[in-house]
Structure 1
Amino acid sequence: MRRRSARGPDAAGRERVLILSAGVGAGHNSAAAALQQACAVRTDVDEVQVLDVLQVSSLLYRTLLGKGYFVLVEDLPWLVEWGYNINDRPFRHRGPVDPWTRVNALPVIDAIKRFRPTAIICTHFLPAQLLASLLLRGVIDARTAVVTTDYDFQGLWLTGAFHTLFLAREEGRVQLMALGLPPDRVAVTGIPIATPPNPAPARDANKPPMLLISAGATGGDYALSIVRQTLHMRSSFTATVLCGRNDALRQRIEQLVAPAGDRYRVLGFTAEMPQLLRRADLFVGKPGGLSASECMAAGLPMVLVNTIPGQEVRNGDYLMEQGAAVRCNIPATIGWKIDELLREPGRLQRMQEAAQRTGRPNAAADVLSRLLVGPSRPLVLTRDAQKTILAESEQRVVASDLTGPSSLVRVVDLAGSSTVALLRAEELGDLQKRYATPDGGLVLRRGDAHMSLRGGEPRLLRAILRGDDELPVRVEGPSPPPHIVPAGPAGHDP
């Protein structure tokens, strides 16, 4: 018996998509903009809105999270790496959203209620964690997606409730399968990037290679030393130098390269980036998730410099594994290393081919296609299941190695065949006592939600029942080893 229908698209099948980001660096907002662009070409999306959650937070909160991160990167990079590694264990911080974050989240919650979305996509872990809390409290009734923006998966992105988790590469999917996550809730699409409005002309193999030297959106001073190093190179080349919003840096580089004539082109912040990526032969800069993904989609290999410890180092490791990048750790040898790369016959072409293979230019469209036709009920991970996942990551075991009460079991919606809950085996007894049917099945019911599952049952049922009074389900045992769970086309699950 149903109390009401779960809300989704309207009668005409039109979606209202809300994209939540956080302006900690440019990458998260760039991914949000790419998803907004992908929504604009879909006939089933009636309205799309992007919200940077920091922009509606208090000035103190915004400053500490936004600017504070870059202060640490500049002055205490070892602390950034330590923090990244500590938070790499999923569910290390469990429990409700802390009071300070909750207060700053109130404008976001108000925006969600006003917009009334049918789908919500998060390109940062902060709004993803908030959405998990709202799903469990029954505040929102929309499909939710978590879209990671680096090549490695970090534990902070895994929340207690979501509909689909989108990853940049297959190894991240294997990692989550090993932790016990159900394969139907994890997809590999790549990192969403914008589609250039006008295709750039093809690279001209008869012209000298063009270097694209990037100082990032804020204009890092490290670009000055890179340009100075290229002045000593023996190879024939041209270079476009991007100084971002740092006008002082642009002026210093212009003075530096003035004697070189028209070999160098120096730009500030530019809207030409997509075209420049497709005209260049080699990118020199930092391996942020979005920058790297844009380069790969353009078939543009990278020379990695000034990498931030943590996610950028791991991004770089992946690109080097693919043969699409080299890393310069010593500033004094950057020019020599680029020169050696250009002078080795066929090497640049091989790296360009590797970049082309690695790129996923359709990631944004793939995220939307998967989310909007995906399960209407979220996946809920109980508190005890979260403890098991944390213990697995600390003890370096996989879910299929576990037996007994602490092993993980999956609750699957019989009608939709989607996993709706992940819980410990010891929690299963409570469900079976309360919801077992005479034929040995299970039917979850709203009216009985006042009992047990260690206090988590009301939240579990509220989230997965949505508008229904009951839901027939089946229970599946511990997850199989990740290597026997095949991926479908383009990294999608079967």
Structure 2
Amino acid sequence: MRKTSARAPDTAGRERVLILSAGVGAGHNSAAAAVQQACAARPDIAEVQVLDVLQVSSVLYRALLAKGYFVLVEGLPWLVEWGYDASDPPFRRRGPIDPWTRANAVPVIGAIKRFRPTAIVCTHFLPAQLLASLLLRGVTDARTAVVTTDYDFQGLWLPGAFHALFVAREEGKVELMALGLPPDRVAATGIPIAEQPDVASTRDPNELPMLLISAGATGGDYAVSVVRQTMHMRSPFTATIVCGRNEALRQRIERLVAPAGDRYRVLGFTAEMPQLLRGADLFVGKPGGLSASECMAAGLPMVLVNPIPGQEVRNGDYLMEQGAAVRCNTAATIGWKIDEVLREPGRLQRMQAAARRIGRPDAAADVLTGLLDGPARPLVVTRAAQKTILAASEQRTVATDLTGPSALVRLIDSAAGSTVALLQAEELGDLQKRYATPDGGLVLRRGQAPVSLRWEARRLLRALLRDDGEVPVRVEELSAPLAFFPGDRLPG
């Protein structure tokens, strides 16, 4: 679905923001909606458009990516985990976009050309990889942001060209910097979520603890096991159960809890989740990136059940590490696990404090600020540099450990101070022959020169050179320990 919201008829000098998502699950589109909502608070944005790239692709392509993924989650979860781990190393899949994906990207490219955005935000790696190709081909010069939607960074999200990369937590930024990515292009903002109610909490400390049990937007059948086990709990409580769009599930749970009187309230799909999160004491459900971020912003700790292998398991690891969640690995212990949290003096309160500490309710606004106030030129990671980054990832080393021709170097925009390219040391030769200055720097420009450029260097120039036609840069070697590891190295 494509949605456009015009803020004013006069768009001169103001931003036109295109938000690209992909409807694989609800989280990516929810993050896109949160960024769209944050756009409304900025007077410098004239128009916003949100596009789910799968909705304009072929039916077969959409079914394979969106529905096929969840078929695997239900039937072959071990394969989902294997696929996640196999695609985790950054730039393992290099080269141009495959022909099938390119064919399905044609309507998206058309939408970009028609809308003429000045800024593009990608909340899924599919459009992020497409935009990298368009930046390198000179199809668009819009500022482009990649916004991850899980707590752990996954290698598929790292494209070969972008303006800003926003990750969910500081550890993700540290990981990318260890691989050689410049700190001025990566920010830990949290995951964009919808604006939260302007109240500290609606919980009444004198009332019984309230559980919020979520079956997810589509209504997962695992919620039946969760509810059944809570009926055996010893602790007093009340519960609200949200069944999403699964009407059959809602009716089934209503029949299950009927003997318990008014202890349980059963809902279908609801637009009141922010209020429910603020009114609950403990959330029981899957650790999707958006669900977890909404809970943390509300100061609501989680009991994690049925995580999807890969990203949701890693989300859960982070939440438990921070003290904001516990996980149930089997349905038989859910009631006991919740009892343990409620019965131990002070434990629930400590978990609530931990959730509030890591909550990032302003992530969407921070993404827009970081993108629109950030560098005008993209960061280009050459193919050779991508190979170095992949090798460093697989060898569990940091970029400063690498020496020789395959070591990484950065090109820094001398005027703006931002990093504009990451390349292998041996790639400098062509550029130095053509663009060297007496002081040892480079001035990249269009024009004639006796030395012909290789294809990768031409792509670099096409992405970096704008209307000004040239950019002075200086070369920076990654030969000193990175700032976030003063004198130290990552363990091998």
Task: Tell me the TM-score normalized by structure 2.
Answer: 0.95
Deviation at 1:441, TM superposition (A): 2.4
Kindly tell me: are residues 452 and 69 of structure 1, through their superposed partners in 2, closer, same or farther at Cα, counting changes over 3 Å? farther
What SS class does the counterpart of residue 389 from structure 1 fall into? helix
Is contact 1:408-1:479 (8 Å) kept? no
Q: How does 1:75-86 map to 2 (within 5 A)?
A: 75-86=75-86
- Give the secondary structure class of the aligned counterpart of 2:360: coil
- Which stretches of structure 1, 4 residues or longer, exceed 6 Å deviation after superposition? none
Judge conservation of contact 2:434–2:449 (CA < 8 Å) in 1.
no
Return the offset for 1:483. 5.0
1:87-102 correspondence to structure 2 within 5 Å:
87-102=87-102
Give the secondary-structure state (helix, strand or coil) at the position aligned to 2:405: helix
Aligned match of 1:183? 183
Letter aligned with residue 474 of structure 2: R
The yes-or-no answer on 1:50 pairing with 2:50 is yes
1:263-282 paired onto structure 2 within 5 Å: 263-282=263-282
Q: State the distance in 2 between where 1:139 and 1:116 align.
A: 11
In structure 2, the residue matched to 1:491 is: none
Task: Give the CA deviation at 1:177.
Answer: 0.5
What's the counterpart of residue 112 of structure 2?
A: 112
| 1:17 maps onto 2:17 in alignment | yes
CA distance in structure 2 between the partners assigned to 1:355 and 1:479 by the alignment: 39
Partner SS state of residue 50, structure 1: strand
What secondary structure is seen at the aligned counterpart in 2 of 1:139? coil
Partner of 2:136: 136
Alpha-carbon deviation of 1:455?
Answer: 2.1
- The 1-side partners of 2:449 and 2:346 are apart by 66
Give the match for residue 124 of structure 1. 124
- After superposition, what is the alpha-carbon deviation per residue over 1:196-253, rounded to whole angstroms, capped at 9, x for unaligned? 3564852111111000000001100000010000001010100000100111110010
Asked whether the 8 Å contact 1:449–1:461 carries over to 2, the reply is no
Does the Cα contact within 8 Å between 1:450 and 1:458 map onto a contact in 2? no
Instruction: Tell me the residue number matched to 1:469.
Output: 469
Preserved contact between residue 11 and residue 46 of structure 2 (Cα < 8 Å): no
Q: Indicate the residue corresponding to 1:404 in structure 2.
A: 404
SS in 2 for 1:484: coil
Corresponding residue number in structure 1 for 2:315? 315
Change (3 A) 1:456 1:139: same
Once residues 323 and 96 of structure 1 are traced to their aligned partners in structure 2, the CA distance between those partners, rounded to angstroms, is: 42
Letter of the 1:87 partner, please give it: S
Q: Secondary structure at the match of 1:417?
A: coil
Q: In 2 relative to 1, CA 453–170 (structure 1 residues): closer, same or farther, beyond 3 Å?
A: farther
User: Does 2:219 match 1:219?
Assistant: yes
- Maintained 8 Å contact 1:209/1:238: yes
Counterpart-to-counterpart distance in 1, 2:340 and 2:144: 47
Give the letter aligned to residue 260 of structure 2. Answer: A
Residue 61 of structure 1 aligns with an amino acid whose one-letter code is Y
Determine the C-alpha separation between the residues in 1 that align with 2:23 and 2:298: 25
Q: Does the 8 A contact of 2:286 with 2:304 survive in 1?
A: yes
Q: Hey, what does 2:303 align to over in structure 1?
A: 303
- Could you report, residue by residue, the CA deviation over 1:34-71 in whole angstroms, capped at 9, with x for unpaired residues? 00000011110000010000000000000000000000
1:362-393 CA distance string (max 9 Å, x none): 00000001110100000000110000001111
Mapped to 2, the partners of 1:42 and 1:168 lie a distance apart of: 23
Partner of 1:444: 444
The answer on whether the counterparts of 2:174 and 2:484 sit within 8 Å (CA) in structure 1 is no
**Secondary structure of the structure 2 residue equivalent to 1:338:** helix
Question: Are the equivalent residues in 2 in contact too, given 1:200–1:279 (CA < 8 A)?
Answer: no
Once the two structures are TM-superposed, the CA of residue 164 in structure 1 deviates from its matched residue by 0.3
- The alignment status of 1:394 with 2:394, answered yes or no, reads yes
Distance 1:375 1:479, change over 3 A: farther
Distance 2:402 2:141 in 1: 34
- Deviation larger for 25-34 or 457-466: 457-466
Question: Partner residue of 1:6?
Answer: none
Q: Indicate conservation of the 8 Å contact 1:161/1:381, yes or no.
A: yes
Change in CA separation of 1:133 and 1:450 when aligned onto 2, cut-off 3 Å: farther
Q: Secondary structure at the match of 1:406?
A: coil
Q: Which residue of 1 aligns with 2:60?
A: 60
Question: For each residue in 1:285-309, what CA deviation from the matched residue of structure 2 results, as whole angstroms up to 9, or x when unmatched?
Answer: 0000000000000000000000110
* Structure 1: distance between partners of 2:198 and 2:239: 22
For residues 365 and 137 of structure 1, the distance between their equivalents in structure 2, rounded to whole angstroms, comes to 30
Give CA-to-partner distance per residue, 1:384-424, whole Å, 9 cap, x none: 00000011111111101001111100001111011000000
Specify the alignment match of 2:490 in structure 1.
Answer: none
| RMSD between aligned residues | 1.5
Task: Decide whether the 8 Å contact of 1:250 with 1:268 is kept in 2.
Answer: yes
Instruction: Describe the shift of the 1:450–1:423 C-alpha distance in structure 2 as closer, same or farther (beyond 3 A).
Output: farther
Structure 1 unaligned blocks of 5 or more = 1-9, 487-494
Q: In the alignment, what sits opposite 2:290? A: 290
Match of 1:373 in 2: 373
TM-score (norm 1): 0.94
Q: Is this contact kept in 1: 2:433–2:451, CA < 8 A?
A: no
Please list the CA deviations of residues 56-104 of structure 1 after superposition, one character each: whole Å capped at 9, or x if unmatched: 0000000000000000000000000000000000011101111100010
What SS does the aligned partner of 1:349 have? helix
Matched, 1:426 2:458: no
Distance 1:347 1:117 in 2: 49
The structure-2 alpha-carbon separation of the partners of 1:230 and 1:449, relative to structure 1 and needing over 3 Å to count, comes to farther
User: Any conservation in 1 of the 2:196–2:361 contact (CA below 8 Å)?
Assistant: no
Conserved? CA contact 1:177–1:479, under 8 Å: no
Amino acid at match of 1:334: I
Residue matched to 1:194? 194
Q: Distance in 1 between matches of 2:385 and 2:69?
A: 31
- Listed as ranges, the gaps of 5+ residues in structure 2 are 1-9, 487-492
Map 1:331-342; keep pairs closer than 5 Å: 331-342=331-342
**Counterpart residue type for residue 69 of structure 1:** Y
Give the deviation of 1:451 after TM superposition: 5.8
Question: Do the aligned partners of residues 206 and 166 (structure 1) sit closer, same or farther apart at CA in structure 2, a change above 3 Å counting?
Answer: same
CA distance in 2, matches of 1:430, 1:111: 36
Match of 2:7 in 1: none
Which structure ranks higher in relative contact order (CA pairs < 8 Å, sequence separation ≥ 6)? 1
Indicate the residue corresponding to 1:490 in structure 2: none
Summarize the Cα distance change of 1:452–1:302 in structure 2 as closer, same or farther, 3 Å threshold: farther
Q: Give the conservation status (yes or no) of the 8 Å contact 1:166–1:188.
A: yes
Q: Give 1:82's aligned amino acid.
A: W
The structural deviation recorded for 1:482 is 3.9
Contact 1:24 1:66 in 2 (8 A): yes
Deviation at 1:466, TM superposition (A): 2.0
Aligned CA distance change for structure 1 residues 263 and 449 (closer, same or farther; 3 Å)? farther
Deviations 1:180-206 (A, max 9, x none): 001100011000000135648521111
Percent of residue pairs identical: 82
